């Protein structure tokens, strides 16, 4: 077993200190909006969870395309390298250019939670370079840690079968071998956290229109609940709004509300501004959720995981292979966008049963811990007894296709503008 002295994180998704991971903006948050870029703090949560699981004396990180040889010249060879990632493997991205630089590493290279990405289940023809990259990872580790059964099947179809299904490391950030999800009392005004994702479309969503309309209805609920919070995870417009209070930020706020089919009147604008929370530091994000949310609901995978790993109930919306794989693997209650239910926050939370999740989590925690040891990664995670596992996820919400058809008629003329607005 390797006791890690030097750990290299490949494609880290953030920066880190001794206490937490954080996203370091490459621009001044109070500068011109033209300098802003979309980011993804969900990746930073995965990095934070990975570092918590893998204590090391020295940690360095490098992004794909950066000067790995230069790092190795000054730092030397690491004991082991970890590839942080979730949805690298899809039909629209060729990873072939990243193989040769990584050949400079002499150590094992372990993939944590990588997966195949598509809008819905079905065959995927990976680019030739990505197949080469996949086989390179397979050859450089005992096994690949993959997100779920669909990813394992896609990889096997491309000749890589030394895989272990481990889910996503972010679920295990607490380091606890058991999780108990709190019960929410809906008889008083609950504090509900909401998360939204305006990046969804193409191979990240099985039905753009349904997803768009459901998020619009969900935003209406978030603005109407007095104790709600809206947690940002990457859109540049919301970040600018949260950091600035000028005419441009107010214009952007109106634009964001319009994209959610909400009147940009002063009342809604103020409610959105008051509820919006933007965190770049993972520990600050987690702490705020812990003290300000009785439950979480939304379209951001890691926006829900930030609650779940702290024992706070979270209901995910299922809209692509990534969310569906993890919902199945962890036996999570969820809302399926294809069923197009009416948004009813109280009913969603009331009907969310986490009994199966709690059992699945115990088994998956043990699997993750075993995977780390199997691949030569020492971990501070403690051993847990393991119950029988199995996926029994059940969708929440009633099917309402009439509601969908009526809403679709209203929004179809906006479709091209919506998908091209960015």
Rounded Cα gap, residues 3 and 382, in angstroms: 16
Domain range annotation of the chain: 6-175+360-374, 192-358+391-419
Which has the closest alpha carbon to 368: 39, 29, 49, 13?
49
> What is the residue-level pLDDT of the chain in tens, covering all 422 positions?
456 899 999 999 999 998 899 999 888 877 888 888 888 999 999 999 999 999 899 999 999 989 999 999 999 999 999 999 888 899 999 999 999 999 999 999 999 999 999 988 999 999 999 999 999 999 999 999 999 999 999 999 999 999 999 999 999 999 999 999 999 877 778 999 999 998 887 778 899 999 999 999 999 999 999 999 999 999 999 999 999 999 999 999 999 999 999 999 999 999 999 999 999 999 999 999 999 999 999 999 999 999 999 999 999 999 999 999 999 999 999 999 999 999 999 999 999 999 999 999 999 999 999 999 999 898 878 665 544 444 566 677 654 545 545 554 454 444 344 434 44
What's the predicted TM-score (pTM) here? 0.90
Length of the chain equals 422
Say if residues 47 and 84 touch (Cβ distance below 8 Å): yes
Tokens representing residue 237 in the block: 């417009």
In DSSP notation, 194-222 reads: EE--TT--GGG-S-HHHHHHHHHHHHHHH
What is the residue whose two structure tokens read 């870029």?
37
Pick the CATH number of 6-175+360-374 from 3.30.40, 3.40.1350, 1.10.1760, 3.40.50: 3.40.50
Would you tell me how many other CB atoms lie within 10 Å of the CB of residue 414? Answer: 15
């Amino acid at each position: 077993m390797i006791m890690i002295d030097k750990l290299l994180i490949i494609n880290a998704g953030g920066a880190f200190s001794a206490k937490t991971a954080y996203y370091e903006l490459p621009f001044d948050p109070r500068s011109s909006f033209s300098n802003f870029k979309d980011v993804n703090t969900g990746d930073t949560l995965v990095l934070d969870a990975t570092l918590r699981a893998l204590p090391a004396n020295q940690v360095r990180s490098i992004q794909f395309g950066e000067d790995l040889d230069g790092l190795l010249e000054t730092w030397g060879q690491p004991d082991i390298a970890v590839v942080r990632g979730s949805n690298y493997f899809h039909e629209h991205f060729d990873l072939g250019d990243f193989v040769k630089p990584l050949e400079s590493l002499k150590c094992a290279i372990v993939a944590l939670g990588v997966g195949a990405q598509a809008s819905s289940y079905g065959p995927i023809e990976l680019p030739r370079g990505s197949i080469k990259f996949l086989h390179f990872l397979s050859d450089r580790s005992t096994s690949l840690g993959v997100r779920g059964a669909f990813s394992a099947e896609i990889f096997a179809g491309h000749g890589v079968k030394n895989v272990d299904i481990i889910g996503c490391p972010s679920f295990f950030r607490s380091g606890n071998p058991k999780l108990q999800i709190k019960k929410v009392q809906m008889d008083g005004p609950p504090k509900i956290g909401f998360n939204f994702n305006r990046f969804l479309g193409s191979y990240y969503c099985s039905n753009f229109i349904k997803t768009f309309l459901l998020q619009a209805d969900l935003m209406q609920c978030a603005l109407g609940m007095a104790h709600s919070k809206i947690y940002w995870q990457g859109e540049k417009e919301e970040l600018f709004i949260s950091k600035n209070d000028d005419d441009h930020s107010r214009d952007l706020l109106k634009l964001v509300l319009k994209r959610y089919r909400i009147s940009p009147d002063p009342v809604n604008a103020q409610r959105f501004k008051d509820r919006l929370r933007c965190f770049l530091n993972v520990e600050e994000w987690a702490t705020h959720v812990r003290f300000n949310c009785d439950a979480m609901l939304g379209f951001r995978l890691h926006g829900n995981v930030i609650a779940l790993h702290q024992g706070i109930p979270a209901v995910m919306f299922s809209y692509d292979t990534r969310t569906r794989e993890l919902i199945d693997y962890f036996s999570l209650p969820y809302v399926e966008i294809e069923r197009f239910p009416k948004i009813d926050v109280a009913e969603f939370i009331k009907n969310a049963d986490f009994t199966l999740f709690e059992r699945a989590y115990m088994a998956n925690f043990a699997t993750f811990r075993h995977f780390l040891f199997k691949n030569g990664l020492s971990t501070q995670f403690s051993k847990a007894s393991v119950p029988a596992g199995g996926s029994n996820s059940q969708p929440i919400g009633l099917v309402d296709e009439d509601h969908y058809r009526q809403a679709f008629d209203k929004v179809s003329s906006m479709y091209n503008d919506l998908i091209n607005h960015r």
